[in-house]
Chains A and B, each alone.
Chain A
Amino acid sequence: DSGVTQTPKHLITATGQRVTLRCSPRSGDLSVYWYQQSLDQGLQFLIHYYNGEERAKGNILERFSAQQFPDLHSELNLSSLELGDSALYFCASSTGQIATNEKLFFGSGTQLSVL
Chain B
Amino acid sequence: DQQVKQNSPSLSVQEGRISILNCDYTNSMFDYFLWYKKYPAEGPTFLISISSIKDKNEDGRFTVFLNKSAKHLSLHIVPSQPGDSAVYFCAASAGWGDTNAGKSTFGDGTTLTVKP
Q: How far is the CB of A51 from chain B (nearest CB, A)?
A: 13
- A58 at the binding interface (Cβ < 8 Å): yes
Interface size class of B (residues with CB under 8 A): 20 to 34
- Chain A residues within an 8 Å CB radius of B108: 40-42
A-side interface residues, number (CB < 8 Å): 29
Closest to A105 in B: B46
> CB distance B105 to A107 under 8 Å?
no
Which of the 9-residue segments B11-19, B67-75, B78-86, B92-100 touches chain A? B92-100
- Chain B residues within an 8 Å CB radius of A42: 4, 6, 89, 106-109
Which of the 9-residue segments A65-73, A76-84, A96-104 touches chain B? A96-104
Given known A100-B32, A103-B34, contact A2–B103 (CB-CB < 8 A): no
Interface centre among A41, A97, A99 (most CB of B within 10 A): A99
- Chain B residues within an 8 Å CB radius of A101: 32, 51, 93
- A45 at the binding interface (Cβ < 8 Å): yes
Complex CA distance for A22 and B108, rounded to whole angstroms: 25
> CB distance B103 to A58 under 8 Å?
yes
Residues 25-62 of B contacting A (Cβ, < 8 Å): 31-32, 34, 36, 41-46, 49, 51
- Chain B residues within an 8 Å CB radius of A25: none
- Chain B residues within an 8 Å CB radius of A99: 32, 93, 101-104
Q: How far is the CB of B7 from chain A (nearest CB, A)?
A: 12
Q: How far is the CB of B96 from chain A (nearest CB, A)?
A: 7
Given contacts A90-B43, A100-B31, A104-B36, 16 further A-B contacts (CB under 8 A): A2-B43, A33-B104, A40-B9, A42-B89, A42-B107, A42-B109, A43-B89, A44-B106, A50-B102, A90-B44, A98-B96, A99-B32, A99-B102, A101-B51, A106-B44, A106-B45
A-B contact pairs, 11 of them (CB 8 A): A2-B43, A33-B103, A43-B91, A45-B104, A45-B106, A98-B95, A99-B102, A99-B103, A105-B46, A108-B41, A108-B43
